[in-house]
Chain A
Amino acid sequence: MIPTAFDYVKVRSVDEALAALAEHGEDAKLLAGGHSLLPIMKLRLAIPTVLIDIGGIPELSYVRVEGDEVAVGAGTRLFEIERDEVVRAEAPLLSHVAGRVGDPQVRHRATLGGTVAHSDPASDVPTGLLALGGSVVVQGPAGRRSIPVTACWTGFFETDVAEDEMVIEVRVPRTGSSGWGYEKFTRRENDWAIVAAAAVEGRVALANMAGTVVRATATEEALARGASVAEAAALADQGTSPSSDMHADAEYRRHLARLLTRRALETAAAA
Chain B
Amino acid sequence: MSILGTRVVRTEDPLFLTRGAVYTDDLTDERLTGALHATFVRSQVAHGRLLSVDTAAALEAPGVVAVVTAADVTDLVDIPPPFPFINAAMTRPWLASDRVRFVGDPIAVVLTEERYQGEDAAEMVVVDVDPLPAVVGTAAAATDEVLLFPEAGTNLLAAFGEPVPEDFFDGCEVVVTQALVNQRVAPVPLESRAAAAAWDPDGRVTVWCTNQGAQQARGQLGDWLEMDPDLIHLITPDVGGGFGAKIGADPEYAFIAWLARHVGRPVRWAESRSENMIGMLHGRAQDQVVTIGGRRDGTVEAYSLVFDQDCGAYPRIGAVLPTLTMLMAPGVYAFPKVHAQGRALATTTTSIGAYRGAGRPEATAAVERAVDLFAAEIGMDPAEVRRKNLVPAFSAPHTTPMGATYDNGDYTAALDKALEAAGYDELRAEQARRREAGDVRQLGIGLSVYVEITGADNGAGTKEAAELEVHADGTATVLTGTSPHGQGHATAWAMIASDQLGIPMEKITVLHGDTDLVPQGGGTMGSRSLQQGGAAVHQAADELIEEARRRAAERLEVDPTDLVVDLGLAGLAVRGTPGAGVSFAELAAEERLLVNTVFNADAPTFPFGAHVAVVELDVESGKAQVVRVVTVDDAGTVINPLIAEGQRHGGIAQGVAQALLEEVLYDEDGNPTTSTLADYPFVSATELPSFELVEMATPTPMNPLGAKGIGEAGTIGSTPAVQNAVIDAAAHLGVRHVDMPVTPMRVWRAIQQAGSHAQQEGN
A binding-site residues for B, Cβ under 8 Å: 1-2, 4-5, 39, 43-44, 185, 187-191, 246-249, 252, 255-256, 259
Contact = CB atoms under 8 A, between A and B. Distances in A.
A190 B684 contact: yes
Contact of A44 (B123, B676, B743): B123
B686 interface: yes
Contacts of A39: 678
A259 B620 contact: yes
B230 interface: no
Interface residues of B, number: 26
A5 B120 contact: yes
B621 A256 contact: yes
Contacts, number: 46
Interface string B674-688: 101011010110110
A249 B746 CA distance: 11
Interface string B657-683: 000010001000000011010110101
Interface string B559-592: 0000000000000000000000000000000000
B181 to A, nearest CB: 15
Contacts of A43: 274, 676
A255 B272 CA distance: 37
B116 interface: yes
A248 B748 CA distance: 11
B687 A188 contact: yes
A5 B621 CA distance: 45
Given A189-B686, A191-B681, A255 B661 contact: no
B76 interface: no
A189 B687 CA distance: 7
B686 A188 contact: yes
B514 to A, nearest CB: 32
B621 A185 contact: yes
Interface in B629-682: 661, 665, 673-674, 676, 678-679, 681
A43 B679 CA distance: 13
Given A1-B119, A5-B120, A188 B621 contact: no
Interface string B602-634: 000000000000000000110100000000000
A187 B116 CA distance: 35
A42 to B, nearest CB: 9
Contact of B748 (A2, A5, A246, A252): A252
B51 interface: no
Given A188-B681, A188-B686, A246-B673, A2 B116 contact: yes
Nearest to B752: A255
B435 interface: no
Nearest to A192: B678
Contact of A2 (B119, B684, B745): B119
A188 B745 contact: no
Contacts of B665: 246
A256 B743 CA distance: 14
A188 B661 contact: yes
Contacts of B748: 252, 255
Contacts of A189: 684, 686-687
Contacts of B261: none
Nearest to A255: B748
Given A44-B123, A188-B661, A190-B684, A259 B745 contact: no
Nearest to B621: A259
A187 B119 CA distance: 33
Contacts of A190: 684, 686
A243 B285 CA distance: 27
Secondary structure of the A side of the interface?
A: loop
A211 B734 CA distance: 36
19 contacts: A1-B119, A5-B120, A185-B621, A185-B744, A187-B623, A187-B661, A187-B743, A187-B744, A188-B661, A188-B681, A188-B683, A188-B687, A191-B681, A246-B679, A248-B745, A249-B745, A252-B744, A256-B621, A259-B620
A1 B272 contact: yes
Contacts of B744: 185, 187, 252
Given A2-B119, A249-B745, A252-B749, A187 B681 contact: yes
A242 to B, nearest CB: 12
Nearest to B274: A1
Nearest to A191: B681
Given A188-B687, A191-B681, 20 more contacts: A1-B272, A2-B116, A5-B120, A39-B678, A43-B274, A43-B676, A185-B623, A185-B744, A187-B623, A187-B743, A188-B681, A188-B684, A189-B686, A246-B665, A246-B673, A246-B674, A248-B745, A249-B745, A252-B744, A252-B749
A193 to B, nearest CB: 13
Nearest to A103: B684
Given A187-B681, A246-B665, A4 B120 contact: yes
Contacts of B673: 246
Nearest to B660: A187
Contacts of B274: 1, 43
5 closest residue pairs by CB, A with B: A189-B686, A252-B745, A1-B272, A246-B673, A246-B665
A255 B749 CA distance: 11
B41 to A, nearest CB: 14
Nearest to A245: B673
Contacts of B678: 39
A246 B674 CA distance: 9
A256 B618 CA distance: 12
A191 B676 CA distance: 13
Contacts of A256: 621
B674 to A, nearest CB: 7
B501 to A, nearest CB: 47
A189 B673 CA distance: 20
Contacts of B272: 1
A177 B678 CA distance: 37
Contacts of A2: 116, 119
A44 B123 CA distance: 10
Nearest to B663: A246
Interface in B110-154: 116, 119-120, 123
A39 B677 CA distance: 12
A233 to B, nearest CB: 12
Contacts of B621: 185, 256, 259
A255 B661 CA distance: 21
Contacts of A252: 744-745, 748-749
A159 to B, nearest CB: 22
